[in-house]
């Protein structure tokens, strides 16, 4: 394990192609790392996760919300990495979640077993994430919008979401599920942590899978903190329509962007991004895609069952990636350099 280096003076952010998921590595000015979500690359473009964090101390490992496409590859880090200072997460009552994830509402039918198996993955994922943190007694830090900002190696980290009220609603819902008074799980995307990193006068906005409701409250804190327009935006929820207000009057994460902003998009299946969202992103920011379902959909079998139902589409799992990694470096004076990857405007494969 290398000590934190004094050679690093800037902030580096790497967005790695991760199949249907996301992997973000932050290298802090002291050489230590932060990992915000991690999911394997289906194409093998992204190196194995333990290589990405080898020989560097981890200031934190952050699961932005309890979805496997954002956390599957955090499990090996939490299991094996020798130096993790803190685990960041957004669940207000882990026990209720872990308990509820062990059961589902199912129906008696010949496919009951298949349905049960389908859901086992999520329960296993949550248990492995939180179980390994517990097993190794890694200190944990709950992210909540009303908490004070924190500082890691000279980088201010502001938590813009989720609101405590949303976390509490989830806890209540999961308690009701546990005692069978409720059957439907609320959408865990609403628990997404929106993080704003401030360094060298620049703001990096990491949107996780935050939904419109999250951005409405995040906007207030963004203004209260008097943050500059984002230099880099990780597009929330893979460019889905339920994360962005599409009407002119709607508040939107694009309100925090300028024409200088580079927006980074992970959109791993044929349903992401929404074409209207992509158009708005291109209209206001410099879009850079790691995977873009709209561009890749014609390269996969979008109808493997051959259904002739109007409006039906398969949720394909293997969209070819646009590029393996997009990286930025910000120095203390605020100079920003894109050190890896290209923008969609320069993409040789992008459709017109």
Partner 1 sequence: MTGTLDKSEIDDSFPWTIRGGDRLSAMPHLGTVRSVAFTAAVETPISRGLRQKPRTTPKRRLRGFVIAFRGQEVRVGFVQADESIIEYLLPIGSLQKAGITEENQPFEMDEIEETSDGEYSLTYRYRPMAPASSAVTDILKSDERLAELRDAALQHFGNGTDH
Q: Give Cα separations from 307 to 151, 162, 183, 299, 314 (angstroms).
A: 53, 40, 30, 18, 9
Q: How far is the CB of 180 from partner 1 (least distance, A)?
A: 6
Assess 307 for contact with partner 1 (CB under 8 A). yes
* E-assigned strand segments in 188-254: 194-199, 202-206, 230-234
**Does residue 1 belong to the site contacting partner 1 (CB under 8 A)?**
no
CB of 98 to partner 1, least distance (A): 5
Over the window 208 to 247, marking each residue x when it contacts partner 1 by CB under 8 A and - when it does not, the resulting string is: ----------------------------------x-----
Please give the torsion angle defined by the CA atoms of residues 263, 144, 187 and 41, in that order, rounded to the nearest 10 degrees. 50
Binding string, 80-109, against partner 1, x = CB under 8 A?
-----------x--xx--xx-xxxxxxxxx
Q: How far is the CB of 318 from partner 1 (least distance, A)?
A: 13
What is the CB neighbour count within 10 angstroms for residue 228? 15
Of residues 5, 9, 83, 118, which one binds partner 1 by CB under 8 A? 118
Q: Are 29 and 10 in contact (CB under 8 A)?
A: yes
Residue 111 beta carbon to partner 1: minimum distance, rounded to whole angstroms: 5
**Which of 54, 80, 112, 282 lies at the binding interface for partner 1 (CB under 8 A)?**
112
Is position 7 an interface residue for partner 1 (rule: CB under 8 A)?
Answer: no
Among 54, 80, 183, 332, binds partner 1 (CB under 8 A): 183
118: phi > 0 → left, psi -120 to 50 → alpha, else beta; which? alpha
Instruction: Return the residue matching tokens 């690093």.
Output: 8
Pairwise CA distance, residues 334 & 157, whole Å: 16
| Straight-line distance from the first to the last Cα atom of the chain, in angstroms, rounded to the nearest whole number | 47
| Binding-site member from 45, 47, 76, 142 for partner 1 (CB under 8 A) | 142
Cα separation, 145 vs 287, whole angstroms: 27
Q: By rule CB under 8 A, what count of residues binds partner 1? A: 56
Residue 275 is a binding residue for partner 1 (CB under 8 A):
no
198 pairs with which residues across the strands? 156, 203
Of 183, 178, 177, the residue nearest 106 (C-alpha): 183
What does the per-residue mask of binding to partner 1 show for 33-72, with x meaning CB under 8 A?
----------------------------------------
| Binding flag, residue 140, partner 1 (CB under 8 A) | yes
- Three-state secondary-structure class, residue 118: helix
Quote the CA–CA distance of 140 and 322 in Å, as a whole number. 35
Binding piece for partner 1, criterion CB under 8 A, among 15-23, 32-40, 121-129, 290-298? 121-129
Give the residues lining the site for partner 1 (CB under 8 A). 91, 94-95, 98-99, 101-112, 114-120, 123-124, 127-128, 130-135, 137, 139-142, 180, 183-185, 242, 271, 304-305, 307-315
């Amino acid at each position: 394990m290398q000590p934190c280096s004094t050679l690093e003076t800037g902030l580096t952010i790497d967005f790695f192609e991760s199949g249907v998921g996301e992997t973000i590595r932050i290298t802090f000015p002291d050489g230590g790392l932060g990992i915000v979500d991690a999911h394997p690359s289906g194409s093998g473009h992204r190196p194995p996760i333990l290589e990405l964090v080898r020989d560097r101390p981890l200031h934190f490992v952050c699961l932005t919300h309890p979805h496997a496409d954002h956390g599957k590859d955090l499990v090996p880090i939490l299991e094996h990495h020798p130096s993790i200072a803190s685990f960041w997460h957004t669940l207000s009552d882990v026990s209720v979640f872990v308990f509820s994830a062990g059961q589902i509402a199912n129906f008696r039918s010949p496919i009951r077993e298949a349905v049960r198996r389908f859901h086992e993955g999520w329960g296993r994922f949550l248990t492995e994430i939180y179980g390994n943190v517990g097993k190794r007694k890694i200190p944990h830090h709950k992210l909540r919008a009303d908490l004070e900002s924190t500082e890691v190696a000279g980088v201010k980290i502001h938590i813009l979401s989720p609101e405590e009220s949303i976390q509490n609603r989830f806890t209540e819902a999961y308690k009701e599920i546990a005692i069978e008074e409720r059957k439907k799980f609320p959408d865990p995307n609403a628990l997404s942590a929106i993080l704003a990193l401030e360094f060298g006068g620049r703001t990096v906005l990491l949107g996780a899978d935050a939904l419109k409701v999250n951005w409405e409250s995040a906007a207030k804190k963004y203004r209260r903190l008097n943050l500059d327009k984002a230099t880099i935006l990780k597009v929330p929820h893979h460019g889905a329509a339920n994360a962005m207000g599409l009407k002119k009057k709607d508040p939107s994460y694009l309100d925090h962007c300028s024409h200088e902003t580079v927006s980074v998009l992970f959109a791993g299946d044929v349903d992401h991004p929404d074409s209207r969202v992509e158009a708005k992103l291109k209209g206001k920011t410099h879009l850079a895609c790691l995977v873009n379902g709209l561009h890749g959909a014609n390269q996969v079998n979008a109808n493997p069952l051959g259904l002739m139902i109007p409006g039906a589409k398969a949720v394909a799992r293997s969209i070819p990636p646009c590029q393996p990694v997009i990286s930025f470096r910000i120095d203390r004076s605020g100079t920003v350099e894109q050190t890896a990857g290209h923008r969609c405007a320069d993409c040789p494969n992008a459709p017109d």
